[in-house]
Amino acid sequence: MLTTRNLSGVARGAVRASQYSRHYASAAPTAAFAGQKGTNVPIEWEEVSVTPVLKGGKTVIPDTAINSVKRNTVALKGPLATPIGKGHVSLNLTLRRTFNLFANVRPCVSIKGFKTPYDDVNTVLIRENTEGEYSGIEHEVVDGVVQSIKLITWEASERVARYAFHYARSQNRSRVTAVHKANIMYVLTISRRCLD
């Protein structure tokens, strides 16, 4: 993971571009460095390991990585793999909870020059990032039977709905569409009610 203190407009664009494809993700530090050289804005890169460590009998993200993100306020993170087996908490979920990353924002935009079935895609998916399937609450009821709890609260549903509307307004988007599975999971209408 790379963290940094200062980002020029070019570097911020490189970080945003890293969300679009692996190609951009691998090029983002290079583009940020180019932006730094072109604008004379000093970027101090700090590379930290997010390889899990054993702490109190559990695998966790090293404190040096957590402290680096807190100190620098910006991070460029690649994929994190959680060790398989009992007692391991998802490292991605740990990061989300540590830094209150409740909204997963996924821009989906057509890129000129690439032939696709649709050539004018410009949508943004915003998903609640800490609850539902990401609650991390599961246990083995009896041997061979696992129960996973899909925890959804009014507070988190309303928070991500408010964020989606704020995002839409700030980006001059005219519509927010809620996607849900209330046709199958009848009790989950809480997500829809938050939008009313």
Tell me the domain boundaries of the chain: 1-100, 130-196
Q: How far apart are CA 167 and CA 104, in angstroms?
A: 12
Confidence of residue 196 (pLDDT cuts 50, 70, 90): low
Q: How far apart are CA 34 and CA 31, in angstroms?
A: 5
Contact yes or no for 47/69 (Cβ under 8 A)? no
pLDDT digits (tens, 9 = 90+) for 46-83: 888 888 788 887 777 889 989 998 888 888 887 777 76
Q: How far apart are CA 76 and CA 29, in angstroms?
A: 8
Q: Is the pTM of this model over 0.85?
A: no
Confidence of residue 87 (pLDDT cuts 50, 70, 90): low
Q: How far apart are CA 75 and CA 191, in angstroms?
A: 30
